[in-house]
Amino acid sequence: ANIVLRALWLFALLDAGLLLDGGMLYPRESSSREVKELSGLWVFRADRSPSRKQGFDEAWYKQRLEETGPVIDMPVPASYNDITQDPAIRDFIGWVWYERELVVPTHWIRDDTIRVVLRVGSAHYNSIVWVNGVSVTQHEGGHLPFEAEVSDVIRKDPTGSCRITTAVNNTLTLETLPPGNIQYMNDRTRYPDGFFVQSIYFDFFNYAGIHRPVLLYTTPKAYVDDITVVTNFSDNTGLVSYIVSVKGAVTAALKVTLMDKQGHCVASSNGPFGVLKVQDVKLWWPYLTHENPGYLYSMEVGTTYEDVYTLPVGIRTVNVTSTQFLINNKPFYFHGVNKHEDSDIRGKGLDWPLIVKDFNLLKWLGANSFRTSHYPYAEEILQMCDRHGIVVIDESPAVGIKDIFGNASLSHHLIVMEELVRRDKNHASVVMWSVANEPASEMPPADYYFKTVIKHTKDLDPTRPVTFISSSNFARDKGVPYVDVICINNYFSWYHDPGHLEVILIQLNTEYENWHGKYKKPIIQSEYGADAVPGVHVDPPVMFTEEYQKIVLQNYHKVFDQKRAQYLIGELIWNFADFMTTQGVTRVVGNKKGIFTRQRQPKAAAFVLKERYWRLANETGRLPLWTKYPCSL
């Protein structure tokens, strides 16, 4: 109960010092809330003018987009890059314009006790949104949602017609996350007029557009704006500490009810904060560690002004020692993957068939976890993780921070961490925050920079460990003293000593001993792997064949098996599936380090990993009942 009180106290305290104003609850229907999804066909126009500013000069948002010039069909959600046959659209840098017209239900217009909110799940990267020509919101950065109340704007037109215009710009600068740089090539003997390139410092295609659903939802005037839960247990009693913030009412009585899967009330409370006690608690367990993984209660929050919001809640704890990662006080070993939001045609657009297929593949593989390399994934994916017991290391979009540690970058990074924690704090599946991937942490300013980002993240959420992902390419130390878990990426016999499989054992062993010896913290191998072009075979193995990828994995596994008895607490393969990258001499139509192809078919390495993960699950966990007689294994 001490931990509970501490958590409550900290959250209450922090509320005062937040940079962001207000919550970001996932939009859900309830008896008091309606949701209108705007997925489907939108109208699209890329601003191809040399300045990319024609749209603003001519105020395209003031009229229907088709009246401004030629438009095309564009699906939402999806990246726009791979939808057309036009290479200029695929590689476009600058402002693109989207538009969707709809009619809102009459009662949304007439009943002025209804609050109408427009929400964008994510758009890459910098976005401005207008409704009926009026600017309603603006957001910097992709991967995270933003929203605006639009009740007044839509009520100005009594017919309820509503034109949503969005301008999205994928330009990356030294102060965005991820960072990037635009370079103009002014040598007219070598480059055509106006030639420029977007330099990026990360290894995935810079997909752009409206990547996640856009929707309108309603709440009553007085509404539940945010909920924070922290869970704990002692013996058979589960403890759910909560804080609810209500907006739009001076005083609001609150009723909070926790229900089990059958809909039975197991605990209830009144007031904006409190602790719910659950007798005979069913804890949230990871996949393959329990017969019934991913158990979720429903926390129904109701106000006297009749707003109702229901939040899924998994009850579990997370702790880290110098050699272990504990979930519900039991050692947890991450055997999982790194993913990307990436697929044919859709790019980074949210796609349900793909999401469900990927979860089926994770389960087939015996993976109990993944890391959201290299940016926050869709909330819909985290909800799947909660329900299926897939454990998540939740990463910010800070990938490719090389030597950019200025104040503007730092303040933006703090805001992004706040947006991330605000969005994902209540997911049972999220067990650790990752503030960055392979930052150039050997640079002197990195010490202050990462100390600040990690401290801020811990202040925001004192209940989860924090890490960043290190690379052995860099002299290591600057940020590591501040992390709770050391996460390392390395590619022995690939980027170093290419072709020499025999170096893996010794080099990996040295690496681990150095890190653990110095910091006495548990280690996760957060990336390792090799490219394999599917269908290419050579034996004895050579690089880029399926055989080579298999042996790299097997050699790494030998060292993992020694070290997991000591302080290695996880292994995450790079990568779950092949993915698109910028074109370059080391990439054969994208990065081929997937154990599945981009179309989600297994390479030889997938079977190696599957055999291993199920064996690890048998040793370390408790398989669910249905897997005792797995017909497909």
The residues carrying an active-site annotation are 438
79 neighbors 345 (Cβ within 8 angstroms): no
Please, which residue, 11 or 528, has the CB nearer to ligand GCB?
528
Q: Cβ of residue 30: shortest distance to ligand GCB, in angstroms? A: 40
Check residue 593 for interaction with ligand GCB (CB under 6 A): yes
Check residue 80 for interaction with ligand GCB (CB under 6 A): no
Please, which residue, 474 or 519, has the CB nearer to ligand GCB?
474
The contact pattern for ligand GCB, residues 438-477, with x = CB under 6 A and - = no contact, is x--------------------------------x------
Please, which residue, 289 or 437, has the CB nearer to ligand GCB?
437
What letter does residue 532 receive in the DSSP assignment? Answer: B
152 neighbors 118 (Cβ within 8 angstroms): no
Three-state secondary structure call for residue 291: coil
CA-to-CA separations, 76 to 29, 213, 318, in angstroms, rounded: 21, 7, 37
By CB atoms closer than 10 A (0-12, 13-18, 19+), residue 414 is: middle
Looking at this protein, which amino acid is placed at residue 30? S
Q: Cβ of residue 169: shortest distance to ligand GCB, in angstroms? A: 23
CA-to-CA separations, 251 to 35, 149, 254, in angstroms, rounded: 26, 21, 10
Q: Could you give the count of Cα atoms lying within 13 Å of 44 in the half-sphere of its Cβ? A: 22
Please, which residue, 203 or 226, has the CB nearer to ligand GCB?
203
Q: Among 198, 218, 489, 525, indicate the residue that binds ligand GCB (CB under 6 A).
A: 489
Please, which residue, 394 or 438, has the CB nearer to ligand GCB?
438
Q: Among 137, 437, 441, 463, indicate the residue that binds ligand GCB (CB under 6 A).
A: 437
Check residue 527 for interaction with ligand GCB (CB under 6 A): yes
Please, which residue, 165 or 338, has the CB nearer to ligand GCB?
338
Site for ligand GCB in 368-427 (CB under 6 A): 374
CA distance 156 to 134: 11
Residue whose CB is nearest to ligand GCB in the complex, by number: 203
Q: Cβ of residue 142: shortest distance to ligand GCB, in angstroms? A: 16
Neighbour-count burial for 90-101, b at 16+ CB within 10 Å, e otherwise? bebbbbbbbbbe
CA distance 433 to 531: 28
299 neighbors 311 (Cβ within 8 angstroms): yes
Q: Cβ of residue 581: shortest distance to ligand GCB, in angstroms? A: 7
Q: Cβ of residue 574: shortest distance to ligand GCB, in angstroms? A: 6
Q: Is the torsion defined by CA of 288, 290, 292, 295 positive or negative?
A: negative
556 neighbors 319 (Cβ within 8 angstroms): no
505 neighbors 559 (Cβ within 8 angstroms): yes
Three-state secondary structure call for residue 480: helix
Q: Cβ of residue 492: shortest distance to ligand GCB, in angstroms? A: 12
337 neighbors 593 (Cβ within 8 angstroms): no
Q: Cβ of residue 178: shortest distance to ligand GCB, in angstroms? A: 11
Dihedral angle of Cα 256, 260, 262, 266, to the nearest 10 degrees: -70
Q: Cβ of residue 468: shortest distance to ligand GCB, in angstroms? A: 12
Size of residue set near ligand GCB by CB under 6 A: 10
Q: Cβ of residue 355: shortest distance to ligand GCB, in angstroms? A: 21
CA distance 476 to 586: 25
430 neighbors 382 (Cβ within 8 angstroms): yes
Check residue 342 for interaction with ligand GCB (CB under 6 A): no
Please, which residue, 579 or 613, has the CB nearer to ligand GCB?
579
Site for ligand GCB in 200-229 (CB under 6 A): 203
Q: Cβ of residue 471: shortest distance to ligand GCB, in angstroms? A: 6
Q: Among 333, 450, 574, 614, indicate the residue that binds ligand GCB (CB under 6 A).
A: 574
Token digits for 572?
Answer: 């995450």
CA distance 89 to 590: 18
Three-state secondary structure call for residue 566: coil
Please, which residue, 399 or 559, has the CB nearer to ligand GCB?
399
CA distance 577 to 579: 6
CA distance 59 to 612: 58
Please, which residue, 218 or 441, has the CB nearer to ligand GCB?
441
Please, which residue, 311 or 488, has the CB nearer to ligand GCB?
488
Q: Among 233, 591, 594, 624, indicate the residue that binds ligand GCB (CB under 6 A).
A: 591
Please, which residue, 482 or 579, has the CB nearer to ligand GCB?
579
Please, which residue, 289 or 549, has the CB nearer to ligand GCB?
549
396 neighbors 361 (Cβ within 8 angstroms): no
Q: Is the torsion defined by CA of 541, 546, 549, 553 positive or negative?
A: negative
CA-to-CA separations, 54 to 48, 98, 169, in angstroms, rounded: 8, 15, 13
182 neighbors 93 (Cβ within 8 angstroms): yes
Quote the crossing angle between the two packed helices 546-563 and 504-519, to the nearest 10°. Answer: 40
Q: Cβ of residue 573: shortest distance to ligand GCB, in angstroms? A: 11
Q: Cβ of residue 3: shortest distance to ligand GCB, in angstroms? A: 34
User: What DSSP assignment string belongs to 420-467?
Assistant: HHHHHTT-TTEEEEEEEES--TTSTHHHHHHHHHHHHHHHH-TTS-EE
Q: Which residues pair with 258 in a beta bridge?
A: 267, 299
Instruction: Please give the residue ranges that form the binding site for ligand GCB (CB under 6 A).
Output: 203, 374, 437-438, 471, 489, 527, 574, 591, 593
